[in-house]
Amino acid sequence: MIGFGVLSGMAVTLRNFIGSYFEKDRLTTVQYPEERETLPENYRNFPFLVYDTDDAEAGLRCVACKICEKECPPQCIYIVKSEDKKPDYMAKPQFYPRIFDIDISVCMSCQICVEVCPFEAIKMDKVFELSRRQRFDALLMGKDELAKSNTYYHQIHPLEAAEVDANLAAAAAKKKPAVESKATPSANT
Ligand code: SF4
Ligand code: SF4
């Protein structure tokens, strides 16, 4: 029948319109910012630097290897390596970033920095309200602002963070015998 498709489409619209007064699931409009949807586990927006313990400086996982800086397609990461070293999560002395900046006006949220980091040190955040009133320097996010705890990482990406913790624990357990054998010379030496 001519027009049947239009009528059935209108019937669906009408059913959802009336149903939205009784069933919340049919109401797809979110009254942002008063209302906010829970973002899915895999939602990502902008990178942050993970630190362990409750010390953002001492617990920072980043060792300033600069791989992410080299691989970032729009080149929006800027790192200056420290001259001294600090212990990492396995107590191994490592360099750390003296400066670690990301230009949020250039970052395209591609996650390549996360993929290439061999130290699980950079992850994607879910924060999306990043507008600034000033241009230039205000759009440059520094190490202090980028550093967020592993506890925060667990809150925003619980499954992924648990997997990362398990991988780091397994890597630490694998290296432990080698470190202990170096520290304890054999009886023959
Ligand atoms: S998410 Fe992509 S564009 Fe943004 S800092 Fe990482 S590599 Fe660069
Ligand atoms: S975030 Fe990862 S890849 Fe980038 S400098 Fe730090 S350790 Fe290297």
pLDDT in tens, 123-177: 999 999 988 888 888 899 999 999 999 999 999 999 999 999 999 999 888 877 6
Provide the pLDDT for residue 7. 94
The 3-state secondary structure of 27-51, one letter per residue: CCCCCCCCCCCCCCCCCCCEEEEEE
Q: Are 11 and 92 found together in one domain?
A: no
- Do 111 and 132 lie in one domain? The reply is yes
Atom of ligand 1 nearest to the CA of 74: 3
Q: How far is the CA of 68 from the centre of ligand 1 (A)?
A: 8
Give the structural domain span for 28: 1-37
Choice from 67, 112, 139 to test ligand 1 binding pocket (greatest atom count within 8 A of CB): 112
Give the Cα separation of 140 and 78 in Å (integer). 10
In a domain, 8, yes or no: yes
Residue 186 covered by a domain: no
Are residues 54 and 30 part of one domain?
A: no
Same domain, 81 and 170: yes
141 lines ligand 1 (CB under 6 A): no
Does residue 67 line the site of ligand 1, with CB under 6 A? no
Return the DSSP state at 60: B
Mutate to test the pocket of ligand 1, among 76, 102, 105, 116 (most ligand atoms within 8 A of CB): 76
55-107 per-position pLDDT tens digit = 999 999 999 999 999 999 999 999 999 999 998 877 889 999 999 999 999 99
- Tell whether 180 is covered by a domain: no
Q: Decide if pLDDT at 182 tops 70.
A: no
Are residues 70 and 19 part of one domain?
Answer: no
Q: What angle do CA 12, 17, 18 make, to 5 degrees?
A: 105
Would residue 181 count as lying in a domain?
no
Count how many domains the chain has: 2
Residue 143 inside a domain? The answer is yes
- Look at residue 68 and tell me if it is in a domain: yes
Say if 59 falls within a structural domain: yes
Q: Is the pLDDT of residue 12 over 80?
A: yes
Indicate whether 28 and 100 sit together in one domain: no
Residue nearest (by alpha carbon) to ligand 1 atom 4: 107
Q: Is residue 179 part of a domain?
A: no
Give start and end residues of each alpha helix (H) in 50-183: 67-71, 112-116, 143-146, 150-156, 158-183
113 C-beta closer than 6 A to ligand 1: yes
How buried is 83 (Cβ within 10 angstroms: 0-12 exposed, 13-18 middle, 19+ buried)? exposed
* CATH, residue 133: 3.30.70.3270
User: Using an 8 Å Cβ cutoff, are 148 and 47 in contact?
Assistant: no
Which protein residue's CA is at the shortest distance from atom 2 of ligand 1? 110
Same-domain check for residues 31 and 79: no
Do residue 27 and residue 58 come from a single domain? no
Residues 97, 30 within the same domain: no
Q: Do both 110 and 27 map to the same domain?
A: no
Distance CA 2, CA 9 (A): 13
Rounded Cα distance, 43 and 159, in Å: 13
